């Protein structure tokens, strides 16, 4: 039980750590290398099992086909998340927020930001809304608490209330686990 608590505390606590900075001084938000590594290892394990199963040819057609379909689904699922976690980065400069993902790049100037909300969709996301568009930032990225603090300074606590509540709830959850 104690190991489980420490593991959850380790994973959840990553978002509360200070953000990394690149050579130009921008804040860089991305998934923890541990999380990306675990998902990638899971992907490799499922792929290995599938390849061994296919190469051996030793499975009954009734159970084997279901097993093969399950493995293919697992490969697609874990492969998507491996790529998504590896390529999703958020850069925060003094003037703008840029989000790079598998599906392209989005950016928004701080002058356009109206409010920041939180959605539980896709593992938790902060939704930064502007006048005519919005961008999403994963909540479990390393340094998101610092990012929300920066946004709070720029646009005010009233416009970041949901995001601040989420960060406070995370801190409380970690205190309970400790």
Q: pLDDT of 78-112, one tens digit each?
A: 888 888 888 888 998 888 899 998 888 988 888 88
Pick from 3, 4, 9: nearest CA to 177: 9
Q: Distance between CA atoms of 162 and 63, rounded to whole angstroms? A: 48
Would you state the pLDDT for residue 57? 67
Residues 126 and 167 in one domain: yes
Phi-psi region of 25 (alpha: psi -120 to 50; beta: other; left: phi over 0): left
Residues 62 and 130 in one domain: no
Counting the structural domains of the chain, the total is 2
The residue segments making up the domain with residue 77 are 34-85
Mean per-residue pLDDT of the chain? 83
Residues 110 and 39 in one domain: no
Q: What is the DSSP string of 4-18?
A: HHHHHHHHHHGGGSP
Residues 153 and 80 in one domain: no
Would you state the pLDDT for residue 58? 65
Quick check: pTM over 0.85? Answer: no
Residues 112 and 144 in one domain: yes
Residues 27 and 38 in one domain: no
Would you state the pLDDT for residue 178? 66
- CA–CA distances in Å: residue 175 to residues 7, 15, 30, 35: 14, 14, 24, 21
Residues of the chain with confidence (pLDDT) below 70: 1, 5, 8-9, 11-14, 57-64, 178
């Amino acid at each position: 039980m104690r190991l489980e608590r420490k593991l959850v505390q380790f994973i959840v606590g990553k978002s509360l750590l200070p953000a990394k900075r690149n050579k130009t001084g921008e804040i860089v938000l991305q998934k923890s290398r541990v999380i990306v590594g675990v998902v990638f290892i899971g992907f490799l394990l499922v792929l290995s099992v599938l390849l061994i199963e296919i190469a051996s040819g030793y499975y009954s057609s009734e159970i084997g086909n279901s097993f093969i379909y399950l493995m293919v689904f697992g490969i697609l699922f874990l492969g998507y998340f491996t790529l998504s976690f590896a390529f999703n980065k958020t850069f925060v400069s003094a003037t703008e927020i840029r989000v790079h993902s598998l599906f392209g790049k989005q950016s928004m100037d701080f002058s356009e930001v109206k409010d920041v909300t939180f959605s539980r969709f896709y593992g938790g996301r902060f939704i930064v809304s502007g006048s005519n568009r919005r961008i999403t930032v994963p909540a479990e990225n390393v340094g998101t608490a610092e990012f929300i603090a920066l946004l709070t300074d720029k646009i005010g606590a009233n416009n970041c209330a949901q995001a601040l509540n989420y960060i406070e709830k995370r801190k409380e959850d970690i205190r309970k686990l400790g």
